[in-house]
Structures are given as structure tokens and as C-alpha cells.
Amino acid sequence: MNVRSFFAGLWRGLDGLRKVLHLIVLLVIFGALIGLLLSGTGRIPSKAALVISPDGQLVEQLSGEPVTRALEAARGDGRHETLLWDLTDSIRAAAADPRIQALVLDFDKFDGATQPTLEELALAVREFRTTGKKVVAYGNELDKEGYYLAAQADETYLDPQGFVLIDGYDRYRMYFKEVLDKLGVDINVFRVGEFKSAVETYTRTNMSPEDREESRAYLAALWSSYQQAVTRARKLAPDAVEKYVDTLAQKVPAAGGDAAHVAQEAGLITGLRTELEVEKHLIGVVGEDKASGSFRAVSVADYLPYALAQKRLHAAGKARVGVIVASGDILDGEQPPGTIGGDSTAKLIRQARLDQDIKALVLRVDSPGGSVTASEEIYRELKALRDAGKPLVVSMSGYAASGGYYISAPADEIWASPATITGSIGIFAVIPTVDKTLGKVGVGVDGIGTTPLSGQLRIDRPLGAEARALLQSQIERGYDEFLERVATGRKKSRADIDAIAQGHVWAGTDAHRLGLVDHLGSFDEALKAAAHRAKLSDYAAEFIEPELTWTQQLVLAIKTGVVRAFFSATPDQAALLKLASRLDPVAREAARLSRFSAPNRVYAYCFCEVR
């Protein structure tokens, strides 16, 4: 045997060993993935309660790219959000599932939602109750949003040391004019609309009379809607909640600080029970889990795969009504879920238009607006869908204001909740300049240009007269086009729309009275309306979302178990991250200003967040 043949044989042997080792590694990885998949699928007991325990904000679209979101969640530094449709799908599947004998509502980790989103979940809970199965809610601290949902239960229990804190609705904003003046920052504002208050956070030190007037009106509408929903669910007198709130600061001290007793006396809860007592009560309903010593329970995370499989089974062979969720600020270009991209959302609408199986479209809008350019891009695609003969129905959630209304305008029908914030038909642009700021530290700016407009849009120079005239003319033209879009869609005159536009914000009830929306009702009612227009008697809803690659689907399927093992945050770290996300109003305003201050963009946006 010569040296060459020896090494050739050795190489073949090593290469064979390499292949074997690669195969072993692949088998190990594959086995680990299968294990993670199986570990993420919980067994559904033969008799159990489905536990609804939303974590963080209840939203209609999760924010961020799916894989990024999953990885962040695994590390414990993602946004705390729960998808509304996951809960409603699970509850509706559970209503028909003989294994699920009860529904348990737990709001210890719940961080709120808009009232229309709450109502969608409440509707699913009420549907579950019609089956005769029991719904039990329990809480230590029930705030306004948590109590709205807890009130829908057959039995609502409060910890003896807990409380029900309902504080009504408010709208408070930070006003930055004084600090901007001290820093020497000029905020150059261009707007149309007497009530267009979006820019006032930068130009005033307090709320304008116009803003105060419209805010009082829609806050009162939200508060009235809230009270009606809660008193109807609990079968209380119409003024019971208002009396409870108005006298809470007197009655709790008089009761020696026993807020739970005051809530019980007011009829807001069924009774006072500790968590152990509630668990014992539920054991009597669904039986005991010997391993935990508590009642037999299944979480939404474990139950959802079954619920979605049932939904797909029932949808098989049926005509489709497409659903596109437009949630968040409207921005130009491609944007991740949780924001509305002019390009990305338009692509989804075009996909619905070209898909022969999609017979109608429901656009679920939850947006305060944003870029007019992006809104127009979306508007044109929606109009093309209608021109192609497919019915278009808009279902408004918490917000469909300004740009959110712009993209709603071409609909055949607009449905809203009584508590939807909508309207705000107006346009603005904001251009900050910092020449005075630079002057305060001894920096001067000087030079020369070739035309009157040269250098006029620099952030380090005052905004010139020519640029001001140009921008204001753009704003006025944009407002005229906005009015035209709405007038055409609503089949009203431009003057009629102008009279109720001017940036005025309306609650859903008032928008319905004024003709800005056609009907007050739920998402399901909007779906039925779209199906009726498409002449469909048997149909299924299909959410249209960006398609994931197989790699992305795999990462989501294994629920990032490997990442979680190495990068999970401690409970203390997770709590601090969650607290930090709620204590950054200045950072949020700065980020918003940076998005809405491009010199070549105008915006239709409503700073109308309520709590």
C-alpha cells in the first residue's frame, strides 16, 4: 500500500465519519424540535375549565414581526400583548366542546384595552353563557377594563382584601411649548381644521377651548356606553356605577378601608372569596387536578391549536370573506404588524382583490391615523377592490380617526362601536427648526443658495416665507381631497362633510347620528353585512396576513423553546421592563414628533388617546 492510497482511504473513512456525525446531529436536533413541539401542546382533560387570562394589553393585532416577537417574548423583553382573536376563537370553540364545562376569567396580568375591543371579548363570553355552562370571574384588583369583562360572568368574585376601582375616562396630554421655547426650538405648524388639536401638544401650554369641548363630548359618550354595558350585564340600576364611583372616596374610609365590602354592597360582585375558596368552588364544577390540587384547567395557549383546527374544519369548502386588520399608526412603505404600512397594507388589499376565493372584504380599523401619502395609497387599493366588484365593509374598533377615517371612506358600509373614536377629518404638518437653539450655544448658520427655496427647509435655519406658503397650500389641498374622499364615500356634499369635519373628533354614537358611520354593532355584524352584500349564505372569515417563510413558521412552531432556555428574563427583570414601557411618555412624544416632521409629508392624525 503506497502513501497516496493510504491517505485516500483515510480521507474516505473520515468523510464517512463526518457524514455519520452530521446525520446524528441532525437527528438530535430534529428530536429536540419534536420534543419542543410536543411539550408546547397541552393535553385537554375530559372535563375542565378554559382559563382566560390575558397578559398585558388586549390587542387586535400583535405588534412586530412574528419571529422577532417570539424571540423577544422568549427572552422576556417583548411587549406584553394578547391577541383578541385568539381568545374569541378559543371561547367559541369551547362553547361547543363537551370537555369544557366552564369558563374562568382571570385578570391579574391584564393591562387594558379600548372599550370596543373589550366588547368583542365580552360578546364571546355572553355567547358561551347561552350554552348553560358556567362563567366564573375572580380578581384581587379589578380596574375599569378588568371589571368590564368580569361583569359578564355568571359569578364574579373579589378577594376580601381586593377592590374594584372604576375611575371613568380621561384625556390628559403633555404640553411642550414652554420647554421648547426654553430650548429655542421653533415648531412650525401648518393645519386645517378648527378642532385639529393634534399639534397643540407642541404649540400650547394647556388644552385649547375647542379641544376641551370635543373631548368632553366623546369622553361622556364613552362613560355612558361603559355604564350601560356593565349595569346591563350585572342587572343593576342604570345609575349604579356612577353612584359607586361618586361615593367611593367617602364610603371606603367609612368602611374602615374595606373596599371589597363596598363593592359587594354596591352589587358589583357576587361575593367575597379567596383564591383558594374559588378553586374549591370550581373543583365542584369540573373536578380536581390531582397533580396541582386545584381545579381541572386548560389554558388558551394549550387550547388554541384545537380551536383553530376546529375553525379550519368548519371553514372547509365555504366561500371566504377576507379580513384585514389595519392597526396602529399609518406610516409610509413596508411596516411590521401593529402599524399600517402604505405599501404593506396595500399589498394585502391587492391580494384580496386578486384572490378568486375572497368574495368580500372586511377592513378592521384600529388607528388614529398618520401619513396622508400612505393613507391615499391604501385608499386607492380599497377603491380598486370595490371597482372589481367585491363588497367592502369597514368595522371600526377603538380608533378610526383622521387617517383611520381616510382609509375607511371608500367602504360600502361602515360599522362602529358606540365607543369608537372617529372623525378628526383634518390635515397637519409639523416642521421643527433649531436655529435659536444653536444660537444659545454660539453656533451660527450662514450661506447662499441658487433659488429662493434653497436652504429653506433646513432644520438649522428659520423656515422661510416661500416654504411656509408652499406647505400651507399643500395642507389646504390635502384637506380638500380628504373632504372629497369622504363626501364621495358618504354620498354627501362637500359642504355637509366640511361642517362636521374641521378636525372634530366624534364618539361612535355621534358619528352614527351625523352619518359618518352607517351602523353601530360588532365585528361579527360587519362580517354578516359583507357576506350579505356578496350574496353569501354560507361563508367563513379568513384573516389575510403576510405569508411567512417555512423557516419563520418553524421558529414559531417550536415556540422558541431553545432561546427561552438560554435567554429568559427573571421575573424581576420582566417586571421592570414592563414598568419602564409604561413610564416613557416623553420618549413616546419625541418618537411621534420624529415620525411626523418630515418636510415633504403631511399627516392626518388624532392625538385622542383616552384612559
Cα distance between residue 259 and residue 268, in whole Å: 12
Instruction: Please work out, in degrees rounded to the nearest 5, the angle formed at the alpha carbon of residue 45 by the alpha carbons of 40 and 51.
Output: 70
- Smallest CA-to-CA distance from 462 within 181, 180, 185, 177 is with 185
CB 604 within 8 A of CB 375: yes
Taking the alpha carbons of 7, 9, 12, 14 in that order, is the dihedral positive or negative?
negative
Q: Is 224 labeled as catalytic in the residue annotation? A: no
At 387 the pLDDT is 97
Domain with CATH 3.90.226.10 in the chain: 48-170+233-304, 317-441+450-605
Whole-number Cα distances in Å, 385 to 318, 322, 361, 389: 21, 12, 9, 7
- Smallest CA-to-CA distance from 55 within 89, 100, 95, 86 is with 86
Q: In whole numbers, what is the pLDDT of the chain averaged over residues?
A: 87
Cα distance between residue 5 and residue 235, in whole Å: 92
CA dihedral 71, 76, 78, 83 (to 10 degrees): 90
At 600 the pLDDT is 55
Model pTM? 0.85
CB 606 within 8 A of CB 401: yes
560 phi-psi bin (left φ>0, alpha ψ -120 to 50, beta other): left
Task: Give the DSSP per-residue string, 550-593.
Answer: HHHHHHHHTTTHHHHHHHPPPHHHHHHHHHHHHS-HHHHHHHHH
Low-confidence stretches of the chain (pLDDT < 70) are: 1-42, 67-79, 195, 548-601
First to last CA, the chain: 86
DSSP 8-state code for residue 256: T
As a 3-state breakdown, the chain gives helix, strand, coil percent values, each rounded to 5, of 50, 20, 35
Q: Residue 302 corresponds to which cell in the numbers above?
A: 394549550
At 215 the pLDDT is 93
Q: Is 493 labeled as catalytic in the residue annotation? A: no
- Smallest CA-to-CA distance from 301 within 41, 582, 514 is with 41
Residues 6+ apart with CB under 8 A from 85: 60, 543
Among residues 225, 402, 408, 424, the one annotated as catalytic is: 402
At 191 the pLDDT is 82
The residue to which cell 385568539 is assigned? 86
DSSP 8-state code for residue 334: -
- Superfamily of domain 48-170+233-304 in the CATH hierarchy: 2-enoyl-CoA Hydratase; Chain A, domain 1 (3.90.226.10)
Q: What amino acid occupies position 231? A: T
The residue to which cell 437653539 is assigned? 437
Strand partners, 139: 158
Enumerate the H helices of 388-507 as residue ranges: 403-406, 435-440, 465-490, 494-500
The residue to which cell 355552562 is assigned? 133
The residue to which cell 427647509 is assigned? 457
Cα distance between residue 325 and residue 543, in whole Å: 8
Q: What CATH code would you report for 317-441+450-605? A: 3.90.226.10
Q: pLDDT (tens digit, 9 = 90+) per residue, 62-104?
A: 988 776 666 666 555 666 899 999 999 999 999 999 999 999 9
Backbone angles phi, psi at 161, to 5 degrees: -100, 10
